[in-house]
Homo-oligomer: A and B are copies of this chain.
Amino acid sequence: MGDKMNYPNGIKKKQEEKIITYKNRGMTLENDLNITNQYYIDNDIAYIYKKPTPIKVVKAEYNNKGYRVIKEAYYSEPSTTDYNGIYKGSYIDYEAKETKNKTYFPISNIHKHQILHLRHVEKEKGICFLIIRFTTLDRTFLLKASSFLDYLDTNKKSTLPLKFIEENGYLIKNKLLKRVDYLEIVDKIWRLS
C-alpha cells in the first residue's frame, strides 16, 4: 500500500496547500477518501482504511478450477462504520455519506447498528465522526459523532438539517492531494498534539 503512490520531491510540498476551487468533477466521496487516506499513509500521517462491505453468503461451491465461488449472497446491513484506523496513537472511526439533497441529510442513511457502533466508540473515547458531502452544493462537512448522537437523542426527526450541520459541524476544504483533509479538523477539535 505504502509504495503505490510516489510523488516527486518538491512538487509534493507546493501542491499540498493548494485548495481546489473548481467544482468536484464527478469524483465520489469514497474515491476522494481513498486518495486522502493513501496520502496519509504515504506521508506517515495516519493509518486509516476502509472495512470490507458486509455480505451474507448463502450458497458457495467449488468450480472446476478449484476456486470457491459464491453463488448466492446478500448485502447485509452494516454493523459498523466504513472507515477506521489510528491517528497519533488514537483510535479513529468514521462513516462517510453523500447526499443529493440541498437542505438536509436523511438520517435513514445511517443504519441502526451503525448508530450503536458510534455510541460504543464514543463510550470508549475514540475519535468518532461523520463525513457528509452535499454533492449538489459541493460541500463536505465533518460532524462529531457526539453532536450527531445529541441531535438524535433530542430530536425525533428523520432528517438532519444542513443548518444544524453548518452550525455544529466543520467544513472540510477540498485540496488537490489531500482531497478531503479531515485530519486538519480532527487536530483542531480533539486538540491532538
Contacts and interface: CB of A to CB of B under 8 A. Distances in A.
A84 interface: yes
Nearest to A93: B86
A92 B85 CA distance: 10
For chain A, which range describes its interface: under 10, 10 to 19, 20 to 34, or 35 or more residues? 35 or more
A37 B41 CA distance: 29
Contact of A91 (B2, B41, B86): B86
B126 A86 contact: yes
A123 B91 CA distance: 14
A153 interface: no
A8 to B, nearest CB: 24
Given A69-B74, A86-B124, A52 B55 contact: yes
Given A68-B75, A89-B90, A120 B1 contact: yes
Interface stretch (A15-23, A43-51, A96-104, A132-140): A43-51
Taken together, the copies of this chain in the complex come to: 2
A70 interface: yes
A5 interface: no
B53 A52 contact: yes
Interface in A117-167: 117, 120-121, 123-126
B123 A44 contact: yes
B47 A121 contact: yes
Given A89-B90, A89-B125, A55 B74 contact: no
A72 interface: yes
Interface in A25-83: 41, 44, 46-47, 49, 51-55, 57, 67-75, 79-80
Given A41-B120, A69-B72, A69-B73, 9 more contacts: A47-B121, A49-B80, A49-B117, A57-B73, A86-B125, A89-B90, A89-B91, A90-B90, A91-B91
